[in-house]
């Protein structure tokens, strides 16, 4: 039975609808995990540290795709809810063309600034050369990476979340197999890992593009359109929270690496890399749920269905509570095994990583509410509130506690910084959910 945006969502129907998005995000998170796993075990911890060190810069450039995907899909979803299908189709096409154009531009900018930025952040010697080698290859796939992020949102809006899942699974398997070949079998090192990743980006980004060019089924497909600066501005503004989240996370990750390089050397950077890889997988549950529900929220808000908005808000908060408990228990139980998988070859690095993981994973009990809250307001078209939650959660609070806690707690303060910042952000999320409920009728 096909589930449509206009349906009434029971728990079962809601989980069935968002499950492809959750699985899709899990497979998306596998990209970095697989690169790190092969580089750490087959190339060495210095190369592993280099990959982790430069990755925030690459992710910052590709974050524009998240902005266009979330902000644009909210607009398209509301247009569909209002019954303006042709307008929705033209707006969708405009967002895709804008993504490709910006992707090419960001590739050129990234290639120019990559090495100077790596030097500025403190990379030197072999670590610097590995950062540049990995980053330059990865930057070539920026446009495809952005398209993949955009289509994760738009395939849900097009009521084809299962298709997005299959595209993402195919891309992830491509990355895994090619990492095994280029890094595990062939001695291509970090360059092989980067090549495997961008080839998988093309599977996840370019193949869906071809689908929307060829297929004329459903409400959304690519068509001709005029430049609508107002629509672009609204999409960029509405999706600014997702861009801000990505940029903030990149900046904070850079600061994490800087602090750890100062307090624990390359081992600290490597330990943080392992924790981030595992964090991507666990947090992807919440991101996938938020991506999956956002078009539904946008549709019912556009259609004026306040009862269904209340239903979605209530059920979502209950489900996220359950997800948080499960994620916390699973992360603590699997900490030893996952740490052993990445850095079991080095006893000191293993001990440092395991302790960091046990402390950092406490944040999983809280972060889902903040991720959903930001996405919820984006879906309602309130990019300002969404950006405020994201800005405080991913930048202001984290920077503050990341600078202060290590003074009193040393390295433990770095691992606990995320826990403190998520708790502070939760208070902000609850405040906005309570104060805005009458305005939006949820």
Is the pLDDT reported for residue 224 higher than 90? no
Q: How confident is the model at residue 206 (pLDDT cuts 50, 70, 90)?
A: very high
Residue at 4 is within a domain: no
Is the pLDDT reported for residue 80 higher than 90? no
Q: Give buried/exposed letters for 329-339 (b at 16+ CB in 10 A, else e).
A: eebeeebeebb
Q: Three-state DSSP class for 300?
A: helix
**Residue 269: what pLDDT?**
80
Separation CA 392–CA 425 (nearest Å): 7
- Residue among 110, 103, 194, 182 nearest 145 (CA): 103
Query: Angle 64-81/142-157 helices, nearest 10 degrees?
Result: 20
Is the pLDDT reported for residue 386 higher than 90? no
Q: Three-state DSSP class for 218?
A: coil
Is the pLDDT reported for residue 203 higher than 70? yes
The arithmetic mean of pLDDT across residues 9-26, rounded, is 86
The arithmetic mean of pLDDT across residues 85-112, rounded, is 88
| Domain boundaries, position 322 | 11-440
Q: Which two tokens stand for residue 196?
A: 């495997």
Separation CA 111–CA 120 (nearest Å): 15
Is the pLDDT reported for residue 204 higher than 60? yes
Which helix or strand (DSSP H or E) is residue 244 part of? helix 240-303
Q: How confident is the model at residue 368 (pLDDT cuts 50, 70, 90)?
A: very high
The secondary structure of 157-196 as a DSSP string is: HTT-HHHHHHHHHHHHHHHHHHHIIIIIIS--HHHHHHHH
Q: Are 29 and 175 in contact (CB under 8 A)?
A: no
Is the pLDDT reported for residue 405 higher than 60? yes
Separation CA 440–CA 442 (nearest Å): 6
Residue at 243 is within a domain: yes
- Residue among 16, 11, 79, 3 nearest 317 (CA): 11
Residue at 1 is within a domain: no
Q: How many domains does the chain have?
A: 1
Q: Are 361 and 282 in contact (CB under 8 A)?
A: yes
Highest mean pLDDT among 122-126, 163-167, 253-257, 325-329: 325-329
Torsion, Cα 265 270 276 277, to 10 degrees, reads 180
- Residue among 330, 340, 235, 341 nearest 285 (CA): 330
Q: How confident is the prediction for the chain on average, in pLDDT?
A: 86
Which helix or strand (DSSP H or E) is residue 267 part of? helix 240-303
The arithmetic mean of pLDDT across residues 223-245, rounded, is 78
Q: How confident is the model at residue 242 (pLDDT cuts 50, 70, 90)?
A: low
Q: Are 20 and 161 in contact (CB under 8 A)?
A: yes
Highest mean pLDDT among 2-11, 56-65, 125-134: 125-134
Torsion, Cα 377 378 382 384, to 10 degrees, reads 100
Q: Give buried/exposed letters for 407-433 (b at 16+ CB in 10 A, else e).
A: eeeebebbbbbbbbbbbbbbebbeebb
Is the pLDDT reported for residue 424 higher than 90? yes
The arithmetic mean of pLDDT across residues 51-75, rounded, is 76
Is the pLDDT reported for residue 241 higher than 70? no
Separation CA 25–CA 94 (nearest Å): 24
- Please report where in the chains the tokens 């005029």 appear, as a residue: 226
The dihedral region occupied by 223, where left means phi > 0, alpha psi between -120 and 50, and beta the remainder, is beta
pTM: 0.72
Is the pLDDT reported for residue 338 higher than 80? yes
Residue at 124 is within a domain: yes
Is the pLDDT reported for residue 32 higher than 70? no
Residue at 119 is within a domain: yes
Q: How far is CA 193 from CA 95, 138, 397, in A?
A: 30, 9, 33
Residue at 2 is within a domain: no
The arithmetic mean of pLDDT across residues 88-109, rounded, is 88
Residue at 364 is within a domain: yes
Is the pLDDT reported for residue 351 higher than 70? yes
Q: Which two tokens stand for residue 287?
A: 């991101």
Least confident of 263-267, 359-363, 377-381: 263-267
Q: How confident is the model at residue 251 (pLDDT cuts 50, 70, 90)?
A: confident
The arithmetic mean of pLDDT across residues 72-92, rounded, is 83
**Residue 166: what pLDDT?**
86
Residue at 415 is within a domain: yes
């Amino acid at each position: 039975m096909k589930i449509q945006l206009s349906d009434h969502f029971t728990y079962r129907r809601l989980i069935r609808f968002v499950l492809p998005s959750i699985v899709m995000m899990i497979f998306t998170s596998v990209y970095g995990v697989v690169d790190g796993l092969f580089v750490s075990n087959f190339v060495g911890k210095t190369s592993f540290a280099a990959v982790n060190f430069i990755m925030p810069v690459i992710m910052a450039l590709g974050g524009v795709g998240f902005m266009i995907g979330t902000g644009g899909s909210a607009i398209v979803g509301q247009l569909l809810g209002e019954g303006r299908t042709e307008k929705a189709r033209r707006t969708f096409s405009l967002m895709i063309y804008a993504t490709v154009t910006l992707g090419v531009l960001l590739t050129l900018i990234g290639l120019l600034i990559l090495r100077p930025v790596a030097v500025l952040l403190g990379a030197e010697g072999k670590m610097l050369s590995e950062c540049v080698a990995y980053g330059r290859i990865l930057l070539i796939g920026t446009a495809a990476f952005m398209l993949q992020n955009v289509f994760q949102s738009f395939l849900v809006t097009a009521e084809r979340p299962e298709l997005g899942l299959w595209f993402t699974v195919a891309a992830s398997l491509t990355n895994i197999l090619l990492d095994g070949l280029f890094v595990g079998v062939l001695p291509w090192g970090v360059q092989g890992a980067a090549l495997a990743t961008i080839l998988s980006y093309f599977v996840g980004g370019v193949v869906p593009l071809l689908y929307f060019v060829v297929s004329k089924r459903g409400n959304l497909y690519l068509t001709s359109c005029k430049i609508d600066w107002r629509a672009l501005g609204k999409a960029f503004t509405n999706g600014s929270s997702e861009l801000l989240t990505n940029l903030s996370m990149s900046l904070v990750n850079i600061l994490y690496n800087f602090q750890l390089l100062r307090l624990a050397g390359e081992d600290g950077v490597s330990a943080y890399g392992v924790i981030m890889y595992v964090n991507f997988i666990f947090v992807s549950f919440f991101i996938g749920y938020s991506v999956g529900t956002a078009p539904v929220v946008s549709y019912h808000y556009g259609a004026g269905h306040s009862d269904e908005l209340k239903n979605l808000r209530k059920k979502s908060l209950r489900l996220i509570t359950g997800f948080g408990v499960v994620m916390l228990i699973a992360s603590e139980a699997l900490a030893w095994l996952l740490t052993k998988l990445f850095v079991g070859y080095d006893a000191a690095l293993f001990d440092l990583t395991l302790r960091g993981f046990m402390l950092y994973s406490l944040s999983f009990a809280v972060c889902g509410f903040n991720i959903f809250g930001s996405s919820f307001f984006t879906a309602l078209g309130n990019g300002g509130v969404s950006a405020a939650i994201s800005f405080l959660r991913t930048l202001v609070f984290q920077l503050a506690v990341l600078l202060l806690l290590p003074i009193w707690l040393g390295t433990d303060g770095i691992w606990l910084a995320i826990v403190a910042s998520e708790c502070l952000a939760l208070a902000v999320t609850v405040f906005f959910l309570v104060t805005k409920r009458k305005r939006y009728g949820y």
